[in-house]
């Protein structure tokens, strides 16, 4: 059921919710939190609401989607209430502010928060530079962003690291949960040897690749090399080097990966990309700060950058020496070559 309330107030929205509960009985009562979705447009809001509806089947909640319209003109609030089959196991309130109300979205949301329950804020696309200092972020125990949805994911991760506060998290981190679980399980088997080095390969436009590399660098305290794959491929492989042999997880394409451990047959594992609703449900499952994410974001990426800079400098030096050597060889060659050097 969808009920539109154009030109309304938060008081009218609250009364309508009570009436729907009394008349229809379609509104969930066992809600455990309030999820605030801060979206830029209707399309982004609809996609986020659909994912939140699926996640609400594991975590019944009140979903409040806040959309900002034009700042010109008089202040106006348009609302829409979705319950029953249109709201999963939750109740959805879509609020669109216009005029002067655009700058006071937090004041519009506050009267609709569930009493005595946690608040989670989610920015499915772009987010403020410091989400914990934003008006919506200040009222939330958990603040969810998605670095994969911006034009420069690596710069976005650095921004999140600079402004990190307990309770911040990012869906780029949630997407590698299964990978991290497989690697942890592999290292929990004999022989219990230290990892000498690691290689993480993935798309340059995937922040999950950087977070995986940062997690390994911070946790294992070993050099980590980042390899590149085509844009849009996500994380494709992780290799951990040990004296007795390497641990390899490879997913070049599709949803099936191979896992190779020394002395064991190669295993095929289902390791497809995680759905948005699945990642969101994971983040709604825990409302306490994620210390591992904090260390990866604030320390692991910095450790990785230092390693990368050193390796880049070494690579440039080697490349320069190789170029000089090739130039000398070409000058002393009895005949010149045409075309591109196959090496």
- When pLDDT is cut at 50, 70 and 90, the band that residue 12 belongs to is very high
CA distance 112 to 329: 76
What pairs with residue 197 in β-bridges?
241
Is 16 exposed, middle or buried, given 0-12, 13-18 or 19+ CB atoms closer than 10 A?
A: middle
- When pLDDT is cut at 50, 70 and 90, the band that residue 305 belongs to is low
Among 244-253, 284-293, 318-327, which stretch is predicted with the lowest mean pLDDT?
318-327
**Between the CA of residue 237 and those of 227, 243, 244, 271, 289, what are the distances in Å?**
9, 20, 20, 11, 28
Among 34-38, 64-68, 118-122, 317-321, which stretch is predicted with the lowest mean pLDDT?
317-321
pLDDT at 316 over 70: no
Task: Give the tokens for residue 87.
Answer: 């709201």
pLDDT score at 145: 98
How long a stretch of residues is the chain? 343
CA distance 342 to 29: 68
- When pLDDT is cut at 50, 70 and 90, the band that residue 253 belongs to is confident
CA distance 120 to 17: 21
- When pLDDT is cut at 50, 70 and 90, the band that residue 121 belongs to is very high
Token pair 């949960």 is found at 177
pLDDT at 30 over 90: no
Phi/psi region, residue 64 (left: phi>0; alpha: psi -120 to 50; beta: rest), is: beta
Inter-residue contact 77 to 162 (CB < 8 Å): no
Inter-residue contact 195 to 187 (CB < 8 Å): yes
Task: Give the tokens for residue 91.
Answer: 């109740």
**Residue 131 dihedral angles phi and psi, to the nearest 5°:** -65, -30
User: Domain 172-327: which CATH class?
Assistant: alpha beta
Phi/psi region, residue 188 (left: phi>0; alpha: psi -120 to 50; beta: rest), is: alpha
pLDDT score at 323: 42
Among 29-33, 74-78, 255-259, 272-276, which stretch is predicted with the lowest mean pLDDT?
29-33
pLDDT score at 72: 83
Task: Give the tokens for residue 102.
Answer: 């655009």
Average pLDDT over every residue of 256-261: 96
Element (H, E) at 301: helix 301-332
Q: At what angle do helices 153-162 and 301-332 cross, to 10 degrees?
A: 140
pLDDT score at 24: 66
Task: Sketch the domain layout of the chain as residue ranges.
Answer: 2-145, 172-327
- When pLDDT is cut at 50, 70 and 90, the band that residue 231 belongs to is confident
How many other CB atoms are found less than 10 A from the CB of residue 312? 10
How many other CB atoms are found less than 10 A from the CB of residue 83? 22
Inter-residue contact 262 to 192 (CB < 8 Å): no
- When pLDDT is cut at 50, 70 and 90, the band that residue 308 belongs to is very low
pLDDT score at 40: 86
pLDDT at 186 over 50: yes
**CB neighbours of 242 closer than 8 A, spacing ≥ 6?**
191, 193, 194, 195, 196, 262
């Amino acid at each position: 059921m969808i009920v539109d309330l154009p030109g309304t107030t938060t008081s009218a929205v609250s009364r309508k919710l009570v009436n729907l509960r009394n008349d229809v009985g379609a509104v969930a009562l066992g809600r455990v939190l309030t999820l605030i979705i801060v979206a830029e447009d209707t399309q982004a809001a609809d996609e986020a609401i659909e994912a939140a509806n699926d996640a609400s089947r594991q975590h019944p909640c009140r979903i409040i989607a806040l959309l900002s319209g034009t700042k010109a003109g008089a202040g106006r609030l348009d609302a829409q209430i979705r319950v029953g089959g249109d709201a999963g196991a939750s109740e959805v309130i879509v609020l669109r502010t216009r005029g002067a109300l655009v700058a006071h979205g937090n004041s519009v949301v506050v009267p609709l928060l569930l009493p005595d329950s946690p608040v989670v804020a989610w920015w499915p696309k772009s987010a403020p530079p410091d989400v914990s200092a934003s008006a919506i972020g200040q009222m939330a125990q958990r603040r969810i962003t998605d670095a994969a949805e911006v034009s420069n994911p690596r710069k976005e991760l650095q921004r999140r690291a600079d402004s990190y506060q307990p309770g911040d998290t990012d869906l780029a981190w949630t997407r590698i949960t299964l990978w991290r679980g497989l690697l942890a399980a592999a290292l929990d088997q004999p022989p219990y040897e230290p990892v000498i080095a690691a290689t993480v390969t993935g798309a340059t436009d995937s922040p999950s690749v950087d977070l995986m590399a940062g997690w390994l660098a911070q946790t294992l305290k070993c050099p980590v090399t980042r390899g590149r794959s085509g844009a849009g491929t996500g994380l494709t492989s992780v290799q951990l080097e040990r004296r007795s042999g390497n641990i390899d997880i490879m997913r070049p394409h599709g949803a099936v990966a191979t896992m190779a451990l020394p002395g064991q047959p190669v295993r095929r594992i289902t390791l497809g990309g995680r759905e948005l609703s699945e990642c969101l449900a994971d983040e709604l499952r825990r409302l306490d700060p994620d210390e591992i994410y904090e260390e990866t974001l604030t320390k692991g990426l910095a450790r990785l950058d230092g390693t990368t800079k050193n390796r880049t400098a070494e690579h440039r030096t080697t490349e320069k020496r190789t170029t000089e050597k090739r130039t000398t060889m070409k000058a002393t060659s009895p005949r010149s070559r045409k075309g591109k050097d196959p090496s």
